[in-house]
Amino acid sequence: MAEIVASAASLNPFAIAQHQFDTAADILKLDPRLRAVLREPVRELHVSLPVRMDNGDVKLFKGFRVQYNDARGPSKGGIRFHPDETVDTVRALAAWMTWKTAVMDLPLGGGKGGIICNPKQLSERELERLSRAYIDAIAWIMGPERDIPAPDVYTTPQIMGWMMDEYSKLRGHSTPGAITGKPLSLWGSLGRDDATARGAWYAVREAARVIDLDLSRARVAIQGFGNAGTFAATLGIELFGASIVAVTDSNGGIFRSNGLDIDQVLAHKKSTGSVVGFPGSEAISNADVLEVDADILIPAALENQITARNAPDVKARIVAEAANGPTTPEADTILHHRKVFVIPDFLCNAGGVTVSYFEWVQNQRGMPWELEDVHRRLDRKMTRAFGEVLAAARQHNVDMRTGAYCVAVARVAEATRARGWA
Ligand code: NAD
CA distance 17 to 39: 9
Domain CATH number, residue 359: 3.40.50.720
301 lines ligand 1 (CB under 6 A): yes
**Which one-letter DSSP state was computed for residue 118?**
-
349 lines ligand 1 (CB under 6 A): yes
CA distance 245 to 77: 32
DSSP, residue by residue, 287-306: TGGGGSS-SEEEE-S-SS-B
pLDDT at 31: 95
Nearest to 47 by CA among 57, 60, 29: 60
Output the CA 229–ligand 1 centroid distance in Å: 7
**Which one-letter DSSP state was computed for residue 84?**
T
Residue nearest to atom 29 of ligand 1 (CA): 323
Domain that holds residue 64: 41-186
CA distance 139 to 278: 44
Output the CA 302–ligand 1 centroid distance in Å: 6
- Looking at the structure, do residues 119 and 164 belong to the same domain, yes or no? yes
Domain CATH number, residue 116: 3.40.50.10860
- Decide if 329 contacts 19 (C-beta within 8 A): yes
Q: Indicate the SS3 state at residue 303.
A: coil
- Looking at the structure, do residues 278 and 361 belong to the same domain, yes or no? yes
pLDDT at 10: 55
- Looking at the structure, do residues 245 and 152 belong to the same domain, yes or no? no
Ligand 1: atom nearest CA of 154 is 2
- Looking at the structure, do residues 300 and 212 belong to the same domain, yes or no? yes
- Looking at the structure, do residues 395 and 249 belong to the same domain, yes or no? yes
- Looking at the structure, do residues 279 and 359 belong to the same domain, yes or no? yes
Is 112 one of the annotated active-site residues of the chain?
Answer: yes
The dihedrals phi and psi of 222, each to the nearest 5 degrees, come to -130, 125
Residue nearest to atom 27 of ligand 1 (CA): 153
181: left (phi > 0), else alpha (psi -120 to 50), else beta? left
Which residues are registered as beta bridge partners of 261? Answer: none
Nearest to 385 by CA among 402, 361, 413, 408: 408
Give the full edge-to-edge strand order of the sheet including 147-151: 43-52, 58-69, 110-116, 75-82, 147-151
CA distance 122 to 57: 13
Tell me the residue length of the chain. 422
CA distance 73 to 76: 9
Output the CA 323–ligand 1 centroid distance in Å: 6
- Looking at the structure, do residues 139 and 173 belong to the same domain, yes or no? yes
- Decide if 98 contacts 69 (C-beta within 8 A): yes
Share of the chain above pLDDT 70, in %: 97
pLDDT at 225: 97
Is 5 within a domain?
Answer: no
Number of structural domains (the chain) is 2
Amino acid (1-letter code) at residue 310: N
Output the CA 300–ligand 1 centroid distance in Å: 5
290 lines ligand 1 (CB under 6 A): no
Ligand 1: atom nearest CA of 349 is 43
- Decide if 142 contacts 154 (C-beta within 8 A): no
- Looking at the structure, do residues 240 and 349 belong to the same domain, yes or no? yes
Q: Cα–chain-centroid distance for residue 234?
A: 18
Q: Cα–chain-centroid distance for residue 172?
A: 32
CA distances from 211 to 4, 192, 204, 206, 329 (A): 35, 29, 10, 9, 23
- Looking at the structure, do residues 354 and 382 belong to the same domain, yes or no? yes
| Helix ranges, 173-251 (H) | 195-211, 227-240
- Looking at the structure, do residues 275 and 380 belong to the same domain, yes or no? yes
Is 261 within a domain?
Answer: yes
- Decide if 169 contacts 178 (C-beta within 8 A): no
CA distance 401 to 287: 23
89 lines ligand 1 (CB under 6 A): no
Output the CA 240–ligand 1 centroid distance in Å: 23
Residue nearest to atom 16 of ligand 1 (CA): 250
Q: Please state the pTM of the whole predicted model.
A: 0.92
**Which one-letter DSSP state was computed for residue 327?**
B
Is 1 within a domain?
Answer: no
Output the CA 418–ligand 1 centroid distance in Å: 36
Residue nearest to atom 1 of ligand 1 (CA): 226
- Looking at the structure, do residues 61 and 109 belong to the same domain, yes or no? yes
> For the chain, which residues score pLDDT lower than 50?
1-9
Ligand 1: atom nearest CA of 150 is 40
pLDDT at 134: 98
362 lines ligand 1 (CB under 6 A): no
223 lines ligand 1 (CB under 6 A): yes
Is 212 within a domain?
Answer: yes
Name the active-site residue from 112, 182, 269, 381.
Answer: 112
CA distance 194 to 351: 9
CA distance 284 to 294: 14
Ligand 1: atom nearest CA of 345 is 44
